Amino acid sequence: EAQLVESGGGLVQPGGSLKLSCAASGFTFSLSGLHWVRQASGKGLEWVGRIRSKTNDYATAYIASVNGRFTISRDDSKSTAYLQMNSLKTEDTAVYYCATTTIVDDAFDIWGQGTMVTVSS
Amino acid sequence: SYDLTQPPSVSVSPGQTASITCSGNELGYKYVSWYHQKPGQSPILVIYHDNKRPSGIPERFSASNSGNTATLTISGTQAVDEADYYCQVWDNSSWVFGGGTKMTVL
């Protein structure tokens, strides 16, 4: 069964850093793009960014509000992707999901369970 | 950036047909996906490429997309279908979600 498992969430002060991990199993991780999507409490889903496969040069893309602060990377040997978050702001507080697209490139068919990130002093 | 608009809420009686709309500029030229999400759970893909169902999604879920509006239709709605529903498109190297619709089955 295809699965994604996030870890690394927690409480961090504004201006601090946090690194999330997303461990994949049950599908060919190295061939798949990996995305991060967040959801603030009581709010909707917001795509954060993605990293493509080696075939696509590990290209990354981000929403404007995190560009320059967040970095997505991956280690295909460990079937794991990462979200490095720096200069965190209170508005970054959310549940962070990793998700992937194994059916088509524009729809997320596998999601992790999410990890909570709270930015507060 | 591209905007997708959904009604905040819809309600439907059990066994009836529910329709949830998603509006965007020239949306019919884009592929629309739909997800449902129950409280405390991760989203689940129920429709991709406008009207295709992933394996395991019941046939009562269908969808269409034309002009500026995409519509998710749930036939014979069941209590288990009560959830938040989100539409989503890919646009200019970004993945965009609608604001979500809370569907109540009562």
Which one-letter DSSP state was computed for residue A47? E
CB A5 within 8 A of CB A81: no
Quick one: how far is CA B87 from the chain centroid?
Answer: 5
Distance from CA of B87 to the nearest CA of A (A): 10
Over residues B66-87, the mean pLDDT reads 97
User: CA nearest A47 in B: which residue?
Assistant: B95
A113 → closest Cβ in B33, B42, B45 = B42
CB B8 within 8 A of CB B95: no
Residues of chain A falling short of pLDDT 70: none
Helix, coil or strand: residue A55: helix
Please count the other Cβ atoms lying within 10 Å of the Cβ belonging to residue B22.
28
Run of H or E including B84: strand B83-91
Integer CA distances (angstroms), B75 to A11, A12, B49, in order? 43, 45, 19
Question: Quick check: A112 and B42 CB within 8 A?
Answer: yes
Distance from CA of A108 to the nearest CA of B (A): 7
CB B44 within 8 A of CB B37: yes
Question: Quick check: B42 and A45 CB within 8 A?
Answer: no
Q: Give CA–CA dist A54/A58, Å, rounded.
A: 5
Q: What is the pLDDT of residue B48?
A: 98
CB A23 within 8 A of CB A7: yes
By mean pLDDT, which of A47-51, A115-119, B61-65, B91-95 is the weakest?
A: B91-95
Q: Give CA–CA dist A61/B82, Å, rounded.
A: 33
User: CA nearest B45 in A: which residue?
Assistant: A109
Q: What is the pLDDT of residue B1?
A: 87
Judged by a CB distance cut-off of 8 A, whether residue A114 touches chain B is yes
pLDDT tens profile A27-55? 999 999 999 999 999 999 999 999 999 99
Interface test with A, best of B5, B95, B96, B97 (most A CBs within 10 A): B95
Q: What residues are paired with A82 via a beta bridge?
A: A21, A73
Number of alpha helices (DSSP H) and beta strands (DSSP E) in chain B: 0, 9
Distance from CA of A109 to the nearest CA of B (A): 5
Q: What is the largest CA-CA distance in chain B?
A: 39
Place of tokens 């066994």: B15
b/e per residue B93-106 (b: at least 16 CB within 10 A): ebbbbbbbbebebe
pLDDT tens profile B19-57? 999 999 999 999 999 999 999 999 999 999 999 999 999
A47 → closest Cβ in B31, B44, B94 = B94
CB A99 within 8 A of CB A81: no
Judged by a CB distance cut-off of 8 A, whether residue B28 touches chain A is no
Which one-letter DSSP state was computed for residue B70? E
